[in-house]
Chain A
């Protein structure tokens, strides 16, 4: 299964919806889809909807951390919503629940 990425700007917030499998092969789909939007003026945060994310490994984590760093550099933040149990456990094990704003 591929990774489907949908990004939609709503005022100062960018909503990112991820569906499918987030691994080393598909991670570039995320950067391709949202990097221009991350540099747009007035952005204060990214909200990631991960409820349809069926798989994520450390390559997905690396991409999310890259986004978090870019946002932090411009005073913005990231928040992850609706993670499934395995994705959440990956984030817990790697100690990133707070850094990635996992709800």
Chain B
């Protein structure tokens, strides 16, 4: 995994992490890097925690949807008062919009519920050989 460390530059640049090969063991490192970036943008507390959960959900889905030994690209940026996070993977994509409603008997499948609750917009884009899941979340007032 290529993770930008918590350097001075990380406070101003957008985050881009290439995870190669894509593995769940990289999740904690991605969250650590994102948390640092959020703190440099004065986003902390519960809002930061929520964004970390959202990122964890979309990265987990990307890794689980990707072929073995493939790579994913994780990125985040700030545009005005909005945090944009996205994950691109070479798999067929986690089929958010095709997911059946999650009933009380389901053990899995609750990630989308969390992502939708803590973001303002969610998009899933399928192209020829990869899928991009992107979220946008406004941060303002007491978030910062």
Contacts and interface: CB of A to CB of B under 8 A. Distances in A.
Interface of A: 1-2, 21, 23-25, 55-59, 61-62, 65-66, 69, 85-86, 89-90, 93-96, 99
A25 B30 CA distance: 13
B114 A23 contact: no
A92 to B, nearest CB: 9
B50 A89 contact: yes
A1 to B, nearest CB: 6
Nearest to B54: A57
A21 B31 contact: yes
A17 B113 CA distance: 26
A86 B46 contact: yes
Task: Tell me which of B31, B110, B113 has the highest count of chain A C-beta atoms within 10 A of its own C-beta.
Answer: B110
Given A93-B113, A94-B110, A99-B104, A86 B28 contact: no
Given A57-B56, A57-B57, A86 B50 contact: yes
B142 to A, nearest CB: 14
Contacts of A61: 110
Contacts, number: 69
A21 B53 contact: no
B18 interface: no
Determine the main DSSP class of B at the interface with A.
helix
25 contacts: A21-B31, A23-B60, A24-B56, A24-B60, A24-B63, A55-B52, A55-B53, A56-B53, A57-B111, A58-B108, A58-B110, A58-B111, A59-B111, A61-B110, A65-B107, A85-B46, A86-B46, A86-B50, A89-B50, A90-B53, A90-B114, A94-B110, A94-B114, A95-B104, A96-B110
Interface of B: 24-25, 27-28, 31, 46, 49-50, 52-53, 56-57, 60, 63-64, 102, 104, 107-111, 113-114, 117-118
Given A55-B52, A59-B60, A93-B117, A23 B111 contact: no
A66 B110 CA distance: 13
